[in-house]
């Protein structure tokens, strides 16, 4: 077991001995969350946000704007993991964001397998991480 | 049960144009769109379109969507249903649809145009399911439709037009694009798009692909490596990028499930993106009342999808016995436009693909 | 080279630049459109007819440099942002370059910005002389900068915020064992599992469906099938077009069983 000090990733098997070129930006990380992450100045687009609402994600209050999907609102709030995969229990985010795949399915108001990349937020929604395939 | 002249599935560039053309010819049209916004992928296209005046060249994609919607709103015989998904088609020609995301209905149309578009392909590599590995179109949706900055630093896999365009749009949203890579030895997208990225300082690595994506719970690093002529990774050429998003833009695949259910004869054509329906040059499938248009008939640019939509709209109207006096002129115009859009260097692949999918005349 | 790097060579740049004689007469457009693509808005953009009409939509633009007066109209119409205007007569020692700039923030007049070449490398500083942006310009602002005359064929972009450049260091990295990448998100199937099934003799989509529920999840095969048909093709040495395809049944998206059971016909209309 080896640990890459920089990324804190646990590795189990050395791949090969050759050092590789490592690129990284010297720009400091900005913790992208909330309204900071919602684009305000854009060269082409003007974004008109809806009214502010809030919902809970695994019990935590998250604010959003009407017209946003659940996945988009969670993303803006800094959440990337929406579900645990059904067999390996790996963290999953969205993949297609237009309702084609199944990567973003969550439990919404008690209903499992809701595609949150296309489901719009509503005030007071209860959103939970989906673990496995969900139950009826 | 809804009885209707023409059911159109999908209100993207092809479906909207089809509705406009068939509606103008007098058909009663029901246009189903599964999303809560019409326009398909046009709504997130912030770049100016290529093509010619007839395909709204120099207009930006989201503006074209508005223009087409305005024209459709003028047609009282065209009904656009949002949050409406065509679910299934049965042997008796009855279609089932989910309406308003809540109720279900049966539809018995005299003719159907399938314009369901395409989905993003994925690629298998270690770590490809980490949060942070997203379809390029998904990132475009987040960024341009919902106005959310998707990342600090992105690596783009794919130097076709989608990879190049989304990379540029990421820069416009204030995101750093560390590199664009593509397994092919040549840039697949338009070189003017590539030049726009290069002069912003974004490297484009041809003959490179993703070896691995890694991170604790979310994407933190992307390892690229060079490919040899057999497209195998070359050990020792790895480059490691610290990125929070890896966009996958490795092509599109037609969303053809409904065509299969309907019993349309299909053929796998690599250069058209996957399984596409056999059709005649006026876009009629092997089922006489079912027509196709846009990416579901084969992956091309949105400009071609619009012209195909118009052509399918004309063909469906003719099938319904609603030909207008200028039908032949309109249809010839569509054929001429498609021919010129496909006549250049970029059209060679499309034409070779169409040669396998278009039968009869 | 251009197709590999995205950067035109010096000779390609020279091929689209007007002659030194024409340059010495004042502002003129330079169109860096090196590839035949179906696109023709520039051909009708010039009110003076300086961009010659296209015989075919895939033609590359040709400018009549004597008719071009270096206005900016064609620049805002080019979807590839491939047009700039150069004026080497602008002052004794500096040339003026007008270029489209689709980013925020826009620079201020008088501001010193970094001038970049076609690879994005900073080659000089430039003074912003003018920023043109109004409703008729299709959201394509035109920024005019003054640069050293010697660099008129080198500079192609500006940077208004001066970032620290991306740096490279060396380190070793290892990979996680056993992860070959997910093919099917619905049922969590990895590439190695699919390959193992194929190696065992499950060589049709129908068999893979029965063995691994491939294509039977909520996405109905949209994600996995394009990958799997290519795996089958490679393993069997048979073109994808000749592989048997599985069946596709209703529905194309998941719906609740209760909705199906509770469906009531709304009556004929």
Contacts of B11 (CB under 8 A, 6+ apart): B19, B31, B32, B33, B38, B39, B40, B80, B82, B115
pLDDT band at A135 (very low <50, low <70, confident <90, very high): confident
In a domain, C170, yes or no: no
Q: Is A58 left (phi over 0), alpha (psi -120 to 50) or beta?
A: left
- How far is B255 from chain A, CA to nearest CA, in Å? 9
Q: Does C237 touch chain B (CB under 8 A)?
A: no
So what's the pLDDT on residue B307? 98
**Pair C125, C218 in one domain:** no
C chain contacts of residue B204, beta-carbon cutoff 8 Å: 5-6
pLDDT of residue B347 exceeding 50: yes
Q: In C, residues 145-164, which contact B (CB 8 Å cutoff)?
A: 156-157
pLDDT per residue as tens digits for the range C22-75: 999 999 999 999 999 999 999 999 999 999 999 999 999 999 999 999 999 999
> Could you tell me whether strands B245-248 and B133-135 are parallel, antiparallel, or unpaired per DSSP bridges?
parallel
Provide CATH 3.50.50.60 ranges for chain B. Answer: 2-119+252-357, 122-248
**Pair C110, C12 in one domain:** yes
Q: Which residues are registered as beta bridge partners of B106? A: B96
In a domain, A73, yes or no: yes
Regions of chain C short of the pLDDT cut 70: 162-177, 264-269
Q: What's the pTM?
A: 0.93
Q: In B, residues 281-320, which contact C (CB 8 Å cutoff)?
A: 301, 303
Are B253 and B332 within 8 A, CB to CB? no
Q: In B, residues 117-176, which contact A (CB 8 Å cutoff)?
A: 119-120, 122, 129-135, 137-139, 141-144, 146-153, 172-174, 176
Q: If residue C230 lies in a helix (H) or strand (E), which one and from where to where? A: helix C224-236
So what's the pLDDT on residue C259? 77
Instruction: Give the chain B residue whose CA is nearest to the CA of A17.
Output: B236
- How far is B122 from chain C, CA to nearest CA, in Å? 7
pLDDT per residue as tens digits for the range B266-275: 999 999 999 9
B341: tokens are 């859009």
A chain contacts of residue B223, beta-carbon cutoff 8 Å: 20
From the list A6, A27, A41, the residue facing C104 with the nearest CB is: A41
In a domain, C233, yes or no: yes
Are B49 and B340 within 8 A, CB to CB? no
A chain contacts of residue C171, beta-carbon cutoff 8 Å: 4, 6, 19-20, 22
- How far is C192 from chain A, CA to nearest CA, in Å? 14
Q: Report how far residue C196's alpha carbon sits from residue C177's, in angstroms, rounded to the nearest whole number.
A: 17
Q: Mutate one of C3, C6, C229, C251 to test the B interface: name it (highest B CB count within 10 A).
A: C6
- Quick one: average pLDDT of A20-42? 58
Q: What percent of chain A has pLDDT over 70?
A: 73
Are residues C255 and B124, on separate chains, in Cβ contact within 8 Å?
Answer: no
**Pair C101, C220 in one domain:** no
In a domain, A58, yes or no: yes
Q: Which of C222, C182, C219 is nearest to B275 (CA)?
A: C222
Q: Does B145 touch chain C (CB under 8 A)?
A: no
Q: Does A29 touch chain C (CB under 8 A)?
A: no
Domain holding C121, by residue range, is: 2-159
Q: Which residues are registered as beta bridge partners of B252? A: B120
A79 burial type by CB count under 10 A (0-12 exposed, 13-18 middle, 19+ buried): buried
Q: How far is CA B99 from CA A98, B85, B150, in A?
A: 18, 7, 31
Total domains present in chain A: 1
Q: Does B3 touch chain A (CB under 8 A)?
A: no
Q: In degrees, to the nearest 5, what angle opens at C-alpha C154 toward C-alphas C153 and C159?
A: 130
B222: tokens are 């992307």
C34: tokens are 């090196």
From the list A21, A44, A95, the residue facing C168 with the nearest CB is: A21
Alpha helix segments (H runs only) across B173-278: 191-198, 257-261
B175: tokens are 């995101």
Q: How many residues does this entry show for chain C? A: 269
In a domain, C29, yes or no: yes
Q: Report how far residue C63's alpha carbon sits from residue B203's, in angstroms, rounded to the nearest whole number.
A: 31
- The DSSP output letter for B44 is G
pLDDT of residue B285 exceeding 90: yes
- How far is C202 from chain B, CA to nearest CA, in Å? 20
Are residues A11 and C139, on separate chains, in Cβ contact within 8 Å?
Answer: no
C254 burial type by CB count under 10 A (0-12 exposed, 13-18 middle, 19+ buried): middle
In a domain, A104, yes or no: yes
So what's the pLDDT on residue B49? 96
In a domain, C130, yes or no: yes
In a domain, A35, yes or no: no
Q: Which residues are registered as beta bridge partners of A52? A: A65
**Pair C134, C247 in one domain:** no
**Pair C16, C95 in one domain:** yes
Are B25 and B322 within 8 A, CB to CB? yes
C chain contacts of residue B266, beta-carbon cutoff 8 Å: 245
**Pair C134, C190 in one domain:** no
Residue B103: is the preceding peptide bond cis (ω within 30°)? no
So what's the pLDDT on residue C251? 84
Q: Does C103 touch chain B (CB under 8 A)?
A: yes
Are residues A38 and B133, on separate chains, in Cβ contact within 8 Å?
Answer: no
In a domain, A88, yes or no: yes
- Quick one: average pLDDT of B50-54? 93
First-to-last C-alpha distance (Å) of chain B: 35
Q: Does C166 touch chain A (CB under 8 A)?
A: yes
So what's the pLDDT on residue A37? 87
Q: For domain B122-248, give the fold.
A: FAD/NAD(P)-binding domain (3.50.50)
So what's the pLDDT on residue C264? 67
**Pair C204, C143 in one domain:** no
Are residues C185 and A17, on separate chains, in Cβ contact within 8 Å?
Answer: no
A chain contacts of residue C185, beta-carbon cutoff 8 Å: 85, 92, 95, 101-103
So what's the pLDDT on residue C250? 85
pLDDT band at A136 (very low <50, low <70, confident <90, very high): low
Q: Does B37 touch chain A (CB under 8 A)?
A: no
C chain contacts of residue A112, beta-carbon cutoff 8 Å: none
Q: Report how far residue B114's alpha carbon sits from residue B98's, in angstroms, rounded to the nearest whole number.
A: 16
pLDDT per residue as tens digits for the range A58-109: 999 999 999 999 999 999 999 999 999 988 899 999 999 999 999 999 999 9
pLDDT per residue as tens digits for the range B99-136: 987 789 999 999 999 999 999 999 999 999 999 999 99
Q: Report how far residue A77's alpha carbon sits from residue A58's, in angstroms, rounded to the nearest whole number.
A: 13
B chain contacts of residue A72, beta-carbon cutoff 8 Å: 142, 146, 148
Choose which CATH entry (3.20.20.70, 3.20.20.100, 3.50.50.60, 3.40.50.300) describes domain B2-119+252-357: 3.50.50.60
pLDDT of residue A33 exceeding 70: no
Chains B, C: CB contacts within 8 A come to 228
In a domain, A60, yes or no: yes
In a domain, C221, yes or no: yes
pLDDT of residue A34 exceeding 70: no
C chain contacts of residue A26, beta-carbon cutoff 8 Å: 164-167
pLDDT of residue B62 exceeding 90: yes
Q: Which of A76, A86, A94, A98 is nearest to A31 (CA)?
A: A76
So what's the pLDDT on residue A133? 82
Are residues A25 and C170, on separate chains, in Cβ contact within 8 Å?
Answer: no
- The DSSP output letter for B73 is H
Are A60 and A107 within 8 A, CB to CB? no
Q: Mutate one of A14, A43, A45, A62 to test the B interface: name it (highest B CB count within 10 A).
A: A45
Q: Report how far residue B348's alpha carbon sits from residue A36's, in angstroms, rounded to the nearest whole number.
A: 45
Q: In A, residues 37-66, which contact C (CB 8 Å cutoff)?
A: 41-44
Q: Report how far residue A18's alpha carbon sits from residue B121's, in angstroms, rounded to the nearest whole number.
A: 32
Total domains present in chain C: 2
A17 burial type by CB count under 10 A (0-12 exposed, 13-18 middle, 19+ buried): exposed
CATH code at A74? 3.10.20.440
A partners (3+ CB pairs within 8 A) are B, C
So what's the pLDDT on residue A32? 52
Q: How far is CA B101 from CA A5, B36, B138, B145, C4, in A?
A: 48, 9, 21, 20, 46
Q: In degrees, to the nearest 5, what angle opens at C-alpha B19 toward C-alphas B16 and B24?
A: 130
A chain contacts of residue C182, beta-carbon cutoff 8 Å: 85
C partners (3+ CB pairs within 8 A) are A, B
pLDDT per residue as tens digits for the range B303-339: 999 999 999 999 999 999 998 899 999 999 999 999 9
Q: Does A88 touch chain C (CB under 8 A)?
A: yes
In a domain, C69, yes or no: yes
Q: Report how far residue C60's alpha carbon sits from residue C53's, in angstroms, rounded to the nearest whole number.
A: 10
From the list C166, C241, C249, the residue facing B268 with the nearest CB is: C241
CA dihedral B305, B309, B310, B315 (to 10 degrees): 130
Rounded to 5 degrees, φ, ψ at B279 are -150, 160
pLDDT of residue A42 exceeding 50: yes
In a domain, C266, yes or no: no
Rg (CA), chain A: 18
> What SS3 state is found at B350?
helix
Q: Among positive and negative, which fits the CA dihedral B43, B45, B47, B52?
A: negative
**Pair C9, C138 in one domain:** yes
């Amino acid at each position: 077991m080896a640990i890459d000090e920089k990324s804190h990733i646990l590795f189990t098997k050395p791949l090969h001995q050759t050092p590789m070129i490592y690129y990284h930006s010297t720009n400091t990380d900005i913790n992208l969350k909330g309204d900071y992450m919602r684009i305000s100045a854009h060269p082409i687009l003007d974004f008109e946000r809806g009214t502010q609402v809030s919902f809970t994600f695994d019990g935590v209050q998250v604010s959003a704007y009407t017209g946003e999907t659940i996945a988009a609102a969670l993303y803006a709030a800094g959440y990337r993991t929406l579900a645990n995969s059904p067999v390996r229990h790996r963290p999953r985010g969205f993949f297609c964001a237009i309702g084609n795949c199944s990567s973003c399915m969550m439990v919404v108001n008690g209903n499992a397998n809701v595609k949150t990349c296309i489901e719009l937020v509503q005030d007071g929604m209860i959103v939970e991480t989906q673990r496995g395939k969900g139950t009826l | 049960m809804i009885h209707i002249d023409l059911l159109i599935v999908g209100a993207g560039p092809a479906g909207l144009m089809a509705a406009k053309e068939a509606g103008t010819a007098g058909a009663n049209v029901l246009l189903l769109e599964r999303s809560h916004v019409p326009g398909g992928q046009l709504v997130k296209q912030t770049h100016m379109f290529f093509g010619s005046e007839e395909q709204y060249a120099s207009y930006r994609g989201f503006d074209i969507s508005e223009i087409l919607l305005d024209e459709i709103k003028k047609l009282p015989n065209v009904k656009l249903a949002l949050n409406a998904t065509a679910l299934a088609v049965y042997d008796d020609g009855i279609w089932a649809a989910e309406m308003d995301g809540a109720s279900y209905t049966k539809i018995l149309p005299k003719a159907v145009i399938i314009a369901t578009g395409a989905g993003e392909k994925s690629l298998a590599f270690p770590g490809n399911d980490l949060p942070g590995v997203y379809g390029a179109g998904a990132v475009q949706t987040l960024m341009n439709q919902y106005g959310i900055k998707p990342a600090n630093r992105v690596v783009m896999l794919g130097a076709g037009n989608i990879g190049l365009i989304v990379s540029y749009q990421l820069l416009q949203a204030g995101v750093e694009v560390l590199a664009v890579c593509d397994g092919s030895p040549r840039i697949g997208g338009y070189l003017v798009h590539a030049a726009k990225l290069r002069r912003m300082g974004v490297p484009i690595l041809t003959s490179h692909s993703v070896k691995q994506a890694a991170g604790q719970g979310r994407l933190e690093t992307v390892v690229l490596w060079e490919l040899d002529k057999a497209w195998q990774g070359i050990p020792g050429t790895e480059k490691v990028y610290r990125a929070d998003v890896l966009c996958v833009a490795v092509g599109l695949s037609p969303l053809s499930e409904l065509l299969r259910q309907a019993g349309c004869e299909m053929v796998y054509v690599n250069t058209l993106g996957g399984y596409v329906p056999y059709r005649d040059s006026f876009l009629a499938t092997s089922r006489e009342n079912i027509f196709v248009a846009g990416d579901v008939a084969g992956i091309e640019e949105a400009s071609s999808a619009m012209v195909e939509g118009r052509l399918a709209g004309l063909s469906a109207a003719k099938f319904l016995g609603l030909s207008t006096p200028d039908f032949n002129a309109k249809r010839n115009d569509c054929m001429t436009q498609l021919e010129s859009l496909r006549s250049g260097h970029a059209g060679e692949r499309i034409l070779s693909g169409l040669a396998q999918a278009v039968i009869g005349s | 080279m251009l197709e590999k790097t995205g950067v035109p060579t010096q000779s390609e740049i020279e091929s689209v630049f007007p002659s030194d004689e024409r340059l010495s007469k004042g502002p003129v457009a330079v169109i860096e459109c090196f590839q035949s693509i179906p696109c023709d808005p520039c051909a009708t953009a010039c009110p003076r007819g300086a961009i010659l009409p296209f015989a075919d939509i895939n033609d590359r633009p040709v400018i009549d440099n004597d008719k071009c007066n270096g206005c900016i109209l064609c620049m805002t119409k080019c979807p590839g942002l491939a047009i700039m205007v150069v004026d080497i007569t602008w002052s004794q020692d500096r040339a003026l370059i007008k270029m489209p700039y689709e980013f925020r923030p826009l620079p201020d007049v008088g501001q010193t910005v970094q001038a970049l070449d076609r690879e994005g490398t900073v080659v000089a500083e430039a003074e912003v002389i003018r920023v043109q942006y109004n409703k008729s310009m299709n959201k394509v602002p035109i920024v005019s900068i003054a640069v050293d005359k010697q660099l008129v064929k080198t500079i192609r972009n500006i940077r208004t915020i001066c970032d620290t450049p991306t740096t490279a260091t060396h380190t070793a990295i290892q990979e996680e064992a056993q992860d070959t990448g997910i093919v099917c998100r619905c049922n969590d199937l990895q590439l190695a599992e699919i390959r193992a099934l194929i190696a065992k003799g499950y060589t049709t989509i129908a068999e893979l469906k029965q063995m691994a529920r491939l294509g039977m999840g909520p996405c109905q095969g949209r994600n996995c099938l394009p990958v799997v048909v290519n795996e089958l093709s490679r393993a069997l040495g048979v073109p994808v077009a000749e592989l048997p395809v599985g069946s596709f049944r209703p529905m194309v998206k998941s719906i609740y069983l209760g909705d199906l059971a509770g469906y009531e016909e709304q009556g004929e209309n």
